Structure 1
Amino acid sequence: MAKRTKGGGATPATRALAAAGVAYTEHPYEHDPAAPSYGLEAAEVLGVPPERVFKTLLAQTDLPRDHGLVVGVVPVAGQLDLKALAAAVGAKKATMADPALAERTTGYVVGGISPIGQKRSLTTVLDASALGRDTVFVSGGRRGLDLEIAPEDLVRATTAVTAAIARV
């Protein structure tokens, strides 16, 4: 998979991948602000099975680092299992982070939070289901832009660990 830009300008995510020499493909699409689910919208518009499109969610844990914030990356067809996420990072519990805190910490807006190129390097956990795929899609750093990337490259770019953190 070659790096390919289809317009729309660089984001922190695309700049980070380019700087790291990671191959990816940009998939811009016309975002509908009325869409009830950003991830399912991306899957439908791009014609990709929802199991290949991953959403980036921030959770608050009792860990002392980075205000306890942890990034969970799971298929849009499922939900983040907060107990499994907490266990994966050695925390006692996890709750969904406040959206305003997530935006301030990552530098992205909700619905466009990418696991790549965040303002702070947060502990990241990628759902293990990604590893069985040649490529997955994640937000490119704005609504209406997904990046197709090999799961191993996503792990490397985010220094993620992998664990079963999704509920279907």
Structure 2
Amino acid sequence: MKKTTRATQFLSKKGIDFKVIQYKHDEKGAEFASKATGFPLERTIKTLVADLGSGKYVLAMMPGDRQLSLKNLAKASSAKKAVMADTGNAERITGYLVGGISPFGIRQKVPAVMDISLLEYDSVVINAGQRGVMLQMSPKDIIKVLNCKAADLAHNP
């Protein structure tokens, strides 16, 4: 398996520190990735693609143990509403397969928002743009390199 992805190339060019973690990808999802890498679920990021309407999209980076509130995401994105993008659009926009979507090195320039709870940690894992490959890095570096904002994106129980 090749360790270099568009995401790792993008981060290397920007001089961002990260560690590549590879695992056997048997199923999609943050829970499986968390178990396979031994990284806590609340520090395992899932990157979701949402449709804001009028041809606008946004990436939402969520901890694996929390559910995205589309209402909170729309508010953070200054949009009227947000709906989950379908698989075809998510893959077309990012250039990555669902289950391997990374916010780094994506095909189209799309704004991103990170759930604020992720900033509590020194390091998190996030997809490297290939199923079975994660990057361990600082959430502050993710914010910096994507020039994105942090907001409360989770459904509050």
TM-score calculated relative to the size of structure 1: 0.89
**Kindly, what percent of the aligned residue pairs are identical?**
38
Q: String of CA shifts for 1:70-116, please: whole Å, max 9, x gaps.
A: 11000111111100000001001000001101101100000000011
AA of the residue aligned to 1:106: T
Among residues 105, 110, 116, which one is paired with 1:117 in the alignment? Answer: 105
Q: Which amino acid aligns with 2:44?
A: V
Q: Aligned partners of 2:23, 2:155: CA distance in 1, in Å? A: 27
Q: TM-score, normalised by structure 2?
A: 0.95
Q: Which residue of 2 aligns with 1:87?
A: 75
Q: Report the equivalent of 2:149.
A: 161
**Correspondent of 1:29 among 23, 26, 31:** 23
How far the C-alpha of 1:161 sits from its partner, in A, is 0.7
- For 1:53, the equivalent position in structure 2 comes to 44
Q: 1:44-64: per-residue Cα shift (whole Å, max 9, x none)?
A: 0111110000100000113x5
Q: Secondary structure at the match of 1:51?
A: helix
The two structures, once aligned, show a CA RMSD in angstroms of 1.2
- In the alignment, which residue of structure 1 is the partner of 2:118? 130
Aligned to 1:147: 135
CA distance in 1, matches of 2:118, 2:142: 10
* Uncovered stretches (5+) of structure 1, i.e. residues with no partner: 1-6
Contact 2:124/2:139 (<8 A) preserved: yes
**Partner-residue secondary structure (3-state), 1:10:** coil
Extract structure 1 runs of 4+ deviating beyond 3 A: none
